[in-house]
Amino acid sequence: MKKALYKNTIDSRRSCPIKKKVLVTRKPPEHVLKELKNHFEIDLWDSEEDKIPRDILLKQIEEVDGVLCLLTENMNKEILERGKNLMVISNLAVGYNNIDVNGASEKGIMVTNTPGVLTETTADLTFALMLATSRKLVEAANVLREGKWKTWSPMFLTGMDIHGATLGIIGLGEIGAAVARRAKGFGMNMMYYNRTPKPFLEKEIGIQYVSKEELLRNSDFVCVLTPLNKETENLITKKELNLMKKTAILINTSRGGIVNEQDLTEALSDGVIWGAGLDVFDQEPISVHHPLLKLSNVVALPHIGSASIQTRTKMWELAAHNLTIALSGGTPPHLVNK
Ligand code: NAP
Ligand code: GLV
């Protein structure tokens, strides 16, 4: 795998001398790269798996008009100050907590994201985590592979039922609503807490608006699906976990930082709640020595919420489209800082 910064300095500049310069911080699918090269002079961090080193990002940002970046890039004040020509930051994610949006707005830099195209895929993964955690799927598969399956036993690897259980969704946005639609099919009772009540969804899905406290006290599954920002940081701490049922399961597919990891580790170790399914963490990648990963009642995944081939491809296409429109003088369809 090449990890060099690839510069598309081919004749494109000669044919179109006003071509703008764009940094792409991870290798896109061929058709997306080809399309971007049609419009721009591209600096590409030519790796699918390794993130662009900070020193290279800092250097390259000085030279470009636009950047197509990932949630792994911390697009903070330091970056914004270096990016003197920067007109747009196009994020390959719906979440944009990796970007200093206020700082970008002050400098007139557009910030875009990729909502919608990943909604159903992330809802699928959220539901998969609910099933995997409640029915101990990872633990059970490991028992079999490790030769520890002796015989069928009545209470061997028993978990919690999903059908008939109560699901509480904190953050009933695009993904939250898609999870609720799935839950309806599974015969779950549903409640939600959201910044803004959503009466139209209450009718459509049959979900009830309650306070955060009521949701925590009554849910068998608590699913966190808000963005990470100053308001939602530490939304779930010891206090909230203590309100939950001892038999309850917490699912976080939104962002690390919303659930306090130390408090969660203690709650899971002390039997305050029954289990947790986590796709996101404070530090990513999470250390393999992290205490959460030592707990058998945790199912942990490496931030794969939107990771289907179809959806990741659509995200690339949408991020490239946002960037292209922004650098062509238009208003990109998914502008975060209107
Ligand atoms: P969305 O449609 O904007 O939904 C977010 C919801 O959270 C909105 O309904 C919003 O309320 C609500 N909310 C915001 N702040 C809140 C607060 N303080 N208290 C209660 N509710 C609050 O976004 P989405 O597309 O569903 O995505 C949600 C998040 O999931 C993203 O921001 C991202 O971090 C995460 N995500 C993770 C993965 C993954 O791979 N694991 C994939 C995709 C997304 P309003 O209606 O009032 O705005
Ligand atoms: C992924 O985590 C996203 O925000 O799209």
pLDDT in tens, the chain (338 residues): 345 454 443 334 444 457 999 999 999 999 999 999 999 999 999 999 999 999 999 999 999 999 999 999 999 999 999 999 999 999 999 999 999 999 999 999 999 999 999 999 999 999 999 999 999 999 999 999 999 999 999 999 999 999 999 999 999 999 999 999 999 999 999 999 999 999 999 999 999 999 999 999 999 999 999 999 999 999 999 999 999 999 999 999 999 999 999 999 999 999 999 999 999 999 999 999 999 999 999 999 999 999 999 999 999 999 999 999 999 999 999 999 99
Size of the chain in residues? 338
Whose CA is closest to 146, among 14, 296, 290, 309? 296
**Domain that residue 171 falls in:** 119-300
- Asked whether 310 and 72 are in contact (CB, 8 A), the reply is no
Ligand 1 and 321: CB distance under 6 A: no
In-domain check, residue 188 = yes
The SS3 of residue 21 is strand
Is the Cβ atom of 195 under 6 angstroms away from ligand 1?
yes
User: What Cα–Cα distance (Å) separates residue 234 from each residue in 130, 240, 261, 266?
Assistant: 21, 10, 9, 15
pTM for this predicted structure: 0.95
Do 97 and 194 lie in one domain? The reply is no
Q: By alpha-carbon position, which residue is closest to atom 27 of ligand 1?
A: 175
The answer to whether residue 337 sits within a structural domain is: no
Count the domains in the chain: 2
Q: The dihedral of CA 311, 314, 320, 325: what is its sign?
A: negative
Place of tokens 């289990």: 275
Q: Are residues 162 and 229 in the same domain?
A: yes
Element containing residue 218 per DSSP (H, E): helix 212-218
Do 94 and 184 reside in the same domain of the chain?
A: no
| Domain shared by 83 and 198, yes or no | no
Going by alpha carbons, the residue nearest to atom 1 of ligand 2 is 93
Question: Which atom belonging to ligand 2 lies closest to the Cα atom of 114?
Answer: 5
